[in-house]
């Protein structure tokens, strides 16, 4: 019996309403020669795995880890690129209705996200998303990023749910879908809302 439905945040519940990738833009504007997929992980590990006293200190660490000279200009540039995108954080149109329906049916709602403390604050301030969550869990809470299994184990611990009682929903196969299955957690690869509703139906969960 399913008791807990866990969602990824970005590209599953929310998106940044900008026409560019912030990581690509950082590489472009700094001229640093790092493959984008590698840089994404550098960014996540640098910014999103701890709680910071200041945003400036966080982005100084990013400068260091990407091999960029640590200057006020460079730190401020990286911050401004990300801040501009974070300010455009938007929930998909179906999200509030979906979460409301699921909670009304008695399901607990979890969130597992590679996200910085700065972005989490902005998203909640703009969307009030946390009101609809029972167990929000971020990379800065656990000190690791997905697909580290510690992340999913922590969710099981705080929710007091068994793996088979959970469903993880996310857009990235290697971060959100395959890893939780190693622990016995059910998972759904998120593509769009209509597909998600059909996938939920296979678990006996029916929403509009």
d(CA 146, CA 114): 7
Q: Residue 13, SS3? A: coil
**Domain match, 183 and 112 both:** yes
pTM for this predicted structure = 0.94
**Residue after which a domain boundary falls, among 86, 112, 138:** 86
> How confident is the prediction along the chain (208 residues), in pLDDT tens digits per residue?
999 999 999 999 999 999 889 999 999 999 999 999 999 999 999 999 999 999 999 999 999 999 999 999 999 999 999 999 999 999 999 999 999 999 999 999 999 999 999 999 999 999 999 999 999 999 999 999 999 999 999 999 999 999 999 999 999 999 999 999 999 999 999 999 999 999 999 999 999 9
Four-residue CA torsion sign, 18, 19, 24, 25: negative
Tell me the β-bridge partners of 113: 138
Residue-range definition of the domain harbouring residue 26:
22-86
- Quote the number of domains for the chain: 2
In a domain, 186, yes or no: yes
In a domain, 178, yes or no: yes
**Domain match, 53 and 147 both:** no
Task: Give me the pLDDT at residue 32, please.
Answer: 97
In a domain, 133, yes or no: yes
**Burial of 205 from C-beta contacts in 10 A (0-12 / 13-18 / 19+):** middle
Give the pLDDT confidence of 56-70 residue by residue, as tens digits: 999 999 999 999 999
d(CA 50, CA 139): 7
Q: What are phi and psi of 4, to 5 degrees?
A: -130, 130
């Amino acid at each position: 019996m399913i008791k807990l439905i866990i969602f990824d945040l970005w590209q599953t519940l929310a998106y940044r309403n900008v026409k560019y990738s912030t990581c690509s833009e950082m590489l472009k504007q700094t001229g640093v020669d790092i493959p984008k997929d590698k840089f994404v992980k550098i960014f996540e590990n640098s910014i999103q795995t701890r709680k910071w006293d200041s945003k400036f200190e966080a982005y100084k660490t990013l400068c260091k880890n990407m091999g960029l000279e640590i200057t006020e200009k460079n730190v401020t540039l990286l911050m401004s690129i990300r801040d501009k995108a974070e300010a455009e954080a938007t929930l998909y149109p179906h999200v509030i209705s979906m979460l409301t329906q699921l909670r009304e049916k008695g399901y607990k709602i979890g969130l597992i996200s590679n996200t910085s403390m700065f972005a989490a604050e902005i998203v909640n301030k703009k969307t009030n998303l946390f009101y609809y969550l029972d167990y929000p869990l971020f990379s800065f809470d656990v000190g690791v990023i997905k697909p580290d299994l510690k992340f999913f184990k922590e969710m099981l611990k705080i929710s007091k749910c068994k793996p088979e009682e959970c469903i993880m929903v996310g857009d990235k196969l290697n971060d959100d879908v395959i890893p939780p299955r190693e622990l016995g957690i059910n998972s759904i690869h998120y593509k769009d809302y209509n597909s998600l509703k059909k996938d939920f139906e296979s678990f006996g969960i029916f929403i509009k």
